[in-house]
Amino acid sequence: MIQIERLNKSFGSADNIHHVLHDIDLTINDGDVFGIIGSSGAGKSTLVRCINLLERPTSGKIIIDGKDVTNYKGKDLLDLRESIGMIFQNFSLFQQRSVLKNVTFPLEVNGKKMSKSERLERAHELLKLVELDDKIKQYPSQLSGGQQQRVAIARALVSKPKIMLCDEATSALDTKTTASILDLLGSINRELGVTMVMITHSLAVAQRVCNRIAVIDDGRIVEEGTTAQVFGNPQSPITKELLRNDNLTTMSQTGDESDNSSLPEQA
Amino acid sequence: MEWFSTFYETYGDLLIKGTLDSLYMTSISTLLAYVFGIPLGVLVVLTAQNGLHPNKAVNTILGWIINIGRSIPFIILLFAIIPFTRLVAGTSLGVKGAIVPLVVTAVPFVARMVEQSLADIDAGLVEAGQSFGANTWQIVYKVYLKESLPSIIRGAAITFISLFGYVAMAGCVGAGGLGDIAIRYGYQRYKPDVMVVAVILCVVLVQLVQTIGDFIARKVDKRVVR
Ligand SMILES: Nc1ncnc2c1ncn2[C@@H]1O[C@H](COP(=O)(O)OP(=O)(O)OP(=O)(O)O)[C@@H](O)[C@H]1O
Ligand SMILES: [Mg+2]
C-alpha cells in the first residue's frame, strides 16, 4: 500500500519558488491499477516521481507498506527504488545495451549478489513473459516502439517489484500497440499482483485499465474515486471539462448519452 | 625512382624516426589527457545544476580552471610551465619534456569534450538508471560512459589530431617528430623536399587516425540508423 500524506513539492529557491504539488493525500491499495489524469503541467510526473523519491518531497510523507520512506537515503533509498519498477513515455532503454542486457540492468546494479548466469536466466524469463525472447540479442534501435516498451516492462519487472510506476507509458504508441501494452500491464497486475500507478492523459487508457482514478489539476487532487464513479458521475468541474474535451469514442461503451450525442457534431 | 631511393637512403631513417616520435608523443599525451580529462568532465556533469550532485561552488571552480587552461595558447604554455615540466618529467626538453605541456593543454579540452558527450545522452536514461536503484558510480560507468562511448571515441580522434599539430609546435623545445623535421630541414637548412615529404606524412597520418577513429566509433555504436 502506498500512502501519500499532505505531500507538498516546490521547485526553485526562496525568491523564485514554484509550488507544484499542494497537500496531496492519496492512498493506493495493493493490487490497484491507479490512474492519475490531468492536463499538462498539472504535476502528475512530479507526484509519481515522489513515490520512488526521484523527487524529494518538500513536506509531507510517503509511506509504503507502513514504512515512512520519505527521508530514506543511501542503501535504503537504493533498495526502495529497486522495489519499485518504472516505465517511461520514451521507453528510456539503454541504446548501447542489447535487449537482454537492458533487462539485466536492475539486477546488475542492486546489492544482492546474483551470479551472471542467474541474472541472464531471470532476464530471459521476463523477456519470455513479454513475448520478446526471440529478440534478446538485438539492440533497442532495431525494435518498434511497442517492442521497446515491452523490453522496458520486462526491465521494470526483473527485480520482482511490488509496485510499478508508468509515466505516459503508451503515449508514444499507436492505438493498436497501446491496447496490447495495456493488456500486458493488466495481466501483470492480475497475475503477478503488481500494483500499478499509471499516469495518462488519455481517458480511454485510464478507462480501459484503471480501477481507481485521481484527477489532478494545478498540483491539487480535485477528484478521486473508482473509475466508474469518476467517469460516470464526475463531481469536479475540471473532470467534467476533461471528459468534455476528450472525444471519448470509448465512452460509448459505458452508455454515456450526453457524450455520445456530441460526437456527430465533432466529426 | 632514382630520386626516391637516394632520398630514402639519406632521409629515410630520419623520417621514420620522426614519424614514430610524433605518433609516440601524440598517443601518450592523448592517453594521459583522457586519464585526467574523463574524471574532470564527469565531475563537471555531476556537479552541474541539473546533475546528480549539484554543487555550484565546485562546478564554477572547475569551469574556471578548464576555461583558463583552454584559453592559454599552447606555444605560451609550453614555455610558461617549464619549471612544472622539469618537476614532473625531470627535463623540459626532448620527447619527455614535450609530453607534460601537451597533456596540460589537452586535459581541459578533453574535459569539455567529455562533458559535451555525456550531456548529449538522453536525460531519461540517467533517470531510468536511478529508478532501478543504481548508485552514482554505477550511473557514471553503466549509463553516462557506456551510452556516450561512440561519441567519446570520436572526441579522442579529434584530440589526437589536435595534439598531433601541437607536437609539431613542441619541436621548438627539440621534441623531435615530423613537425620538428619539417621546420629544421625546410626552413633552417633549406631542404624543401624533406619538408614536403614530412608534411605529406603528417597529412596521411591525420587522415588515417580520423578514418580509424570513425571506424571504431561506428563499430562500437549499437544504434542503427533506420
Ligand atoms: N525539476 C524541475 N524544476 C522546476 N520545475 C519543475 C521541475 N519538474 C517539474 N517542474 C514544473 O512542475 C510542474 C509540473 O510538472 P510535471 O512534469 O509534474 O507535469 P505533468 O502533469 O507531468 O505534465 P505533462 O502531462 O506535460 O507531463 C510544471 O510547471 C513544471 O514546469
Ligand atoms: Mg509528465
- Convert A150-204 into a string of H (helix), E (strand) and C (coil): HHHHHHHHCCCCCEEEEECCCCCCCHHHHHHHHHHHHHHHHHHCCEEEEECCCHH
What does the pLDDT look like over A135-181, one tens digit per residue? 999 999 999 999 999 999 999 999 999 999 999 999 999 999 999 99
Residue A202 has pLDDT above 70, yes or no: yes
- The strand pairing partners of A224, in sequence order, are A214
Residues A120 and A133 sit within 8 Å (Cβ to Cβ): no
What dihedral angle (degrees, nearest 10) is formed by the CA atoms of A230, A234, A238, A244? 100
Residues A122 and A158 sit within 8 Å (Cβ to Cβ): yes
User: What is the C-alpha to C-alpha distance for residues A78 and A52, in angstroms, rounded to an integer?
Assistant: 9
Name the residue with cell 534478446: A136
Residues A39 and A100 in one domain: no
Residues B168 and B174 sit within 8 Å (Cβ to Cβ): no
Nearest CA in chain A to B124: A92
Residue ranges of domains in chain B, CATH in brackets: 2-220 (1.10.3720.10)
If phi over 0 gives left and psi between -120 and 50 gives alpha, with beta otherwise, what is residue A71?
alpha
Least-confidence region, from A11-15, A98-102, B109-113, B144-148: A11-15
Tell me, in angstroms, the distance from the centre of ligand 2 to residue A45's CA: 4
pLDDT score recorded for residue B55: 96
pLDDT score recorded for residue A257: 37
pLDDT score recorded for residue A260: 37
Q: What are phi and psi of B223, to 5 degrees?
A: -80, 125
Structural domain of residue A2, as residue ranges?
1-11+19-83+168-258
Residues A120 and A245 in one domain: no
Q: Is A148 domain-assigned? A: yes
User: What is the C-alpha to C-alpha distance for residues A214 and B119, in angstroms, rounded to an integer?
Assistant: 35
Residues B41 and B110 sit within 8 Å (Cβ to Cβ): yes
User: Which residues of B make CB contacts under 8 Å with A?
Assistant: 122, 124-125, 127-135, 138, 142-143, 146-147, 149-150, 220-224, 226
What dihedral angle (degrees, nearest 10) is formed by the CA atoms of A72, A73, A74, A80? 30
Q: Which residues of chain A are within 8 Å of residue B149 when distances are taken between CB atoms? A: 96
Q: In this structure, which residues have their CB less than 5 angstroms from ion ligand 2?
A: A 45
Least-confidence region, from A196-205, B19-28, B161-170: B161-170
Whose CA is closest to B198, among B9, B6, B17?
Answer: B17
Closest residue to B131, CB basis, from A54, A96, A108: A54
Edge-to-edge strands, sheet with A212-217: A84-87, A163-167, A195-199, A33-37, A212-217, A220-226
pLDDT score recorded for residue A87: 96
Closest residue to B133, CB basis, from A81, A94, A96: A81
Protein residue with least CA distance to atom 17, ligand 1:
A45
pLDDT score recorded for residue B6: 87
Q: Is pTM beyond 0.80 here?
A: yes
Residues A185 and A215 in one domain: yes
Residue A204 has pLDDT above 50, yes or no: yes
Residue A230's Cβ-count burial label (10 Å; 0-12, 13-18, 19+) is buried
Q: Which of B120, B125, B130, B132 has the most A C-beta neighbours within 10 Å, making it the best mutation to test the interface with A?
A: B132
User: Which residues of A make CB contacts under 8 Å with B?
Assistant: 52, 54, 78-82, 84-86, 88, 90, 92-98, 105-106, 108-110, 139, 141-142, 155, 159, 165
User: What is the C-alpha to C-alpha distance for residues A184 and A219, in angstroms, rounded to an integer?
Assistant: 30
On the CB side of A171, how many CA atoms lie within 13 Å of its CA?
Answer: 17
* pLDDT band per the 50, 70, 90 thresholds, residue A252: very low
DSSP state of A29: -
Residue A49 has a CB neighbour count (10 Å cut-off) of 20
What does the pLDDT look like over B158-216, one tens digit per residue? 999 999 988 887 776 677 888 888 888 887 888 888 888 888 998 999 999 999 999 99
How far from the centroid of its chain's Cα atoms is residue A227's Cα? 16
User: What is the C-alpha to C-alpha distance for residues B139 and B123, in angstroms, rounded to an integer?
Assistant: 12
Choose one of A9, A17, A18, A86 to mutate for the ligand 1 pocket test, by most ligand atoms within 8 angstroms of C-beta.
A18
Residues A69 and A173 in one domain: yes
Residues A97 and A206 in one domain: no
Last residue of a domain, one of A160, A177, A212: A160
The continuous run of DSSP H or E covering B215 comes out as: helix B192-220
pLDDT score recorded for residue A251: 37
What does the pLDDT look like over B90-130, one tens digit per residue? 888 888 888 999 999 999 999 999 999 999 999 999 999 99
pLDDT score recorded for residue B177: 87
Residue B216's Cβ-count burial label (10 Å; 0-12, 13-18, 19+) is middle
Last residue of a domain, one of A137, A160, A183: A160
Residues A4 and A109 in one domain: no
DSSP state of A14: G
Protein residue with least CA distance to atom 16, ligand 1:
A43
Residues A53 and A177 in one domain: yes
pLDDT score recorded for residue B87: 93
What does the pLDDT look like over B29-47, one tens digit per residue? 999 999 999 999 999 999 9
Whose CA is closest to A153, among A112, A115, A198, A108?
Answer: A198
Residues A60 and A183 in one domain: yes
Mean pLDDT of chain A: 89
Last residue of a domain, one of A160, A182, A198: A160
- Residues with C-beta less than 6 Å from any ligand 1 atom: A 11, 18, 20, 38, 40-46, 201
